[in-house]
Amino acid sequence: MTFFRQTGAIFWKDLLTEYRTKDSLTSMLMFGLLVILMFHFAFEPDSLETERYGPGLLWMTFIFAGILGMNRAFASERENDSLQALKLAPVSWGAIYLGKMLANLLFMLLAEAVMLACFTVFFNFDLIPRLGWMSAIVLLGTLGFASVGTILAAVSMNTRMNDVMLPVLLLPIALPVVIGAVESTSAIFTDPPGEALGFWVKFLVVFNIVFVTLPLLLFEYVLEE
Amino acid sequence: MKPLAWTTCAAMLLSLYGVFLFAPTEATMGEVQRIFYFHVSSAWVSFLGIFFVFVYSVRFLSKRDRELDTKALAAAEVGSVFATIVMITGPLWAKPVWGIWWTWDARLTSAFVLWLIYLGYLMLRRLVESPEQRARLSAVFGVLGAVDAPIVYMSNRWFRTQHPSPVIAGGEGSGLNTEMRMVLYFTFLALVLLFVYLWRMRYELEHAQEDLESLQRQARLQEAL
């Protein structure tokens, strides 16, 4: 089996389990909706304030919902004690990482699409004309977050208090993603788009190149026994 | 060990002389500016610490020598002390000069994030039971954290920079008077020596502890026989 077929197999396995349990997606979505509700009562924002704080809040919601999802990344393996079996499977461990990462990425993107729609409805985000840029930024930001998140989920899986450990390890590392994503999202909400847009999108691309390659190289050390 | 201890001691005394007696008083900030020498040098040393963590983590992953893991641990512990010094001296200097304890300035924020990465690393080590696994997982996080630290620094520097541009390696119009620069570099050198000294002390302590444990085990075994 080639590396990509292996990755695809792992990806498909996670997709299927998620389709049957819907654990990650429901938890992320419920969390997102609750944040939107809290946001309204915490700030009671008018349209100007929504424009000012919206991008930041949007990414806060994505990130914290993402942590919920990441905490579930290796949950089925841990709960069913099947990590050993996964490691024994005739696939390269890089493929396990990549498959899992892509599955996490897809779950996060699905949840984010719904959250973004809710933001548009509840806070009158003028999203439609900016949909192209917005999708690109969400994809880039989420990719960076998911790639670091997946390897750190595997690291924190082996610790006591693993659900606390994940945000402690992940959030400082993922900070540049948050900065890049929030800055570029803010840039598309001004009319015409701010000059910073191109710069921060490139920044996200560079971050992704580094932080997708590095976990691919390091993941085998995490799984090893 | 002895010569290093004495050199460090002499360098520290000399840098105290430089900071308090030799360096001229800064025109606008006055005496309080003298904290700058320790503050900036400690910040550089804390970056040196994470660099040590990176080097020994990578070497540990390739060679699997426990010795290297101990060195990475020692670098993280001593580095975190310097990062803490930065976090304490920063607000102490900021309050009289800027009138506020804290501002989300690029360098302050990156020092803060570096400090959090150190804490995450040390916390991770405490929460993994088996020594072999602890060494591997913390090395993986050490590499990720160390690669992230300069990215965090750069992203913060580009993030809506509203504060004075860096004095060292800033742009045009920045710079220090020659005596101040001499004192700064010398203080940095003294703190590097201190860092190396403490680092060596720390990993020798770890060795002593391991030796003690194995002796205790032997003693217990003999008692049982």
Structure tokens of B75? 């670098």
A-chain residue closest to B159, CA distance: A179
CB under 8 Å to B5, separation ≥6 — which residues? Answer: B197
Chain A interface test: which of B46, B155, B161 (most A C-beta within 10 Å): B155
Contacts of A156 in chain B (CB under 8 A): 124
Across the interface, of A151, A158, A169, the residue whose CB is closest to B133 is A158
Task: Check residue A24 and give its pLDDT.
Answer: 86
Which of these, B50, B73, B74, B54, lies nearest to B62 by C-alpha position? B54
Chain A interface test: which of B136, B154, B160 (most A C-beta within 10 Å): B136
Structural contact between residues B101 and B87, judged by C-beta atoms closer than 8 angstroms: no
Per this entry, what is the length of chain A? 225
Q: Please give the Cα distance from A7 to B117 (Å, whole number).
A: 31
Size of interface A-B (CB pairs under 8 A): 79
Contacts of B87 in chain A (CB under 8 A): none
Contacts of B151 in chain A (CB under 8 A): 176, 207, 210
Amino acid at B150: P
CB under 8 Å to A152, separation ≥6 — which residues? Answer: A70, A166, A169, A170, A173, B141, B144
Residue B114: pLDDT over 90: yes
B-chain residue closest to A215, CA distance: B144
Task: Check residue B215 and give its pLDDT.
Answer: 93
* Residue A153 CA: distances (Å) to CA of A99, A165, A173, B54, B164: 14, 9, 13, 20, 38
Please state the separation of Cα B93 from the chain's center in Å. 19
Residue B43: pLDDT over 50: yes
Per this entry, what is the length of chain B? 225
Within 10 angstroms of residue A54's Cβ, the number of other Cβ atoms is 20
Judged by a CB distance cut-off of 8 A, whether residue A31 touches chain B is no
Contacts of A221 in chain B (CB under 8 A): 61, 136, 139-140
Contacts of A141 in chain B (CB under 8 A): none
Alpha carbon of B122: minimum distance to chain A alpha carbons (Å):
11
Report DSSP state, residue B19.
I
Contact criterion met (CB < 8 Å) for A172 and B117 = yes
Burial of B170 (0-12, 13-18, 19+ CB in 10 A): exposed
A-chain residue closest to B155, CA distance: A176
Contact criterion met (CB < 8 Å) for B144 and A215 = yes
Q: Please give the Cα distance from A192 to B80 (Å, whole number).
A: 44
Judged by a CB distance cut-off of 8 A, whether residue A179 touches chain B is yes
Contact criterion met (CB < 8 Å) for A155 and B124 = yes
Task: Check residue A138 and give its pLDDT.
Answer: 94
Task: Check residue B161 and give its pLDDT.
Answer: 52
B-chain residue closest to A161, CA distance: B127
Structural contact between residues B76 and B118, judged by C-beta atoms closer than 8 angstroms: yes
The per-residue pLDDT of chain B, averaged, comes to 86
Q: Please give the Cα distance from B138 to B69 (Å, whole number).
A: 9
Q: Is A88 or B54 the better-scoring residue by pLDDT?
A: B54
Task: Check residue A86 and give its pLDDT.
Answer: 85
In the block, tokens 């899986």 appear at: A157
Within 10 angstroms of residue A183's Cβ, the number of other Cβ atoms is 25
The domain segmentation of chain B, as residue ranges, is 6-161+175-224
Q: Please give the Cα distance from B28 to A169 (Å, whole number).
A: 41
Task: Check residue B107 and give its pLDDT.
Answer: 78
Structural contact between residues A219 and A96, judged by C-beta atoms closer than 8 angstroms: yes
Task: Check residue B27 and give its pLDDT.
Answer: 67
In the block, tokens 């049957």 appear at: A20
Contacts of B141 in chain A (CB under 8 A): 152, 155, 169
Structure tokens of B191? 């703190």
Across the interface, of A155, A159, A179, the residue whose CB is closest to B140 is A155
Contact criterion met (CB < 8 Å) for A221 and B140 = yes
How large is the average pLDDT for residues B150-171?
64
Task: Check residue B120 and give its pLDDT.
Answer: 94
- The DSSP code sequence of chain A is --HHHHHHHHHHHHHHHHHHH-HHHHHHHHHHHHHHHHHHHHH---HHHHHHHHHHHHHHHHHHHHHHHHHTTTHHHHHTT-HHHHHHSSS-HHHHHHHHHHHHHHHHHHHHHHHHHHHHHHH----GGGHHHHHHHHHHHHHHHHHHHHHHHHHHHTSTTHHHHHHHHHHHHHHHHHHHHHHHHHHHTSSSPPTHHHHHHHHHHHHHHHHHHHHHHHHHHHH--
How large is the average pLDDT for residues B122-148?
92
Contacts of A148 in chain B (CB under 8 A): 144
- Residues belonging to chain B with any Cβ–Cβ distance to chain A shorter than 8 Å: 61, 113, 116-117, 119-120, 123-124, 127-129, 133, 136-137, 139-141, 143-145, 147-148, 151-152, 155-156, 158-160
* Residue B5 CA: distances (Å) to CA of A124, B12, B71, B81, B201: 65, 11, 19, 18, 10
3-class DSSP assignment, residue B29? coil
In the block, tokens 């703190």 appear at: B191
Judged by a CB distance cut-off of 8 A, whether residue A218 touches chain B is yes
Which of these, B77, B69, B113, B120, lies nearest to A221 by C-alpha position? B69
Amino acid at A129: P
- Predicted confidence pLDDT, tens digits, chain A (225 residues): 788 899 998 899 989 988 998 888 998 999 988 988 888 888 777 777 777 788 888 899 999 999 998 988 888 888 888 888 888 888 888 899 999 999 999 999 999 999 999 888 888 777 788 888 899 999 999 999 999 999 999 999 888 888 889 999 999 999 999 988 988 888 887 767 777 788 889 999 999 999 999 999 999 999 887
The domain segmentation of chain A, as residue ranges, is 3-223
Kindly report which listed range (A66-70, B46-50, B166-170) carries the lowest average pLDDT score.
B166-170
Across the interface, of B116, B136, B155, the residue whose CB is closest to A221 is B136
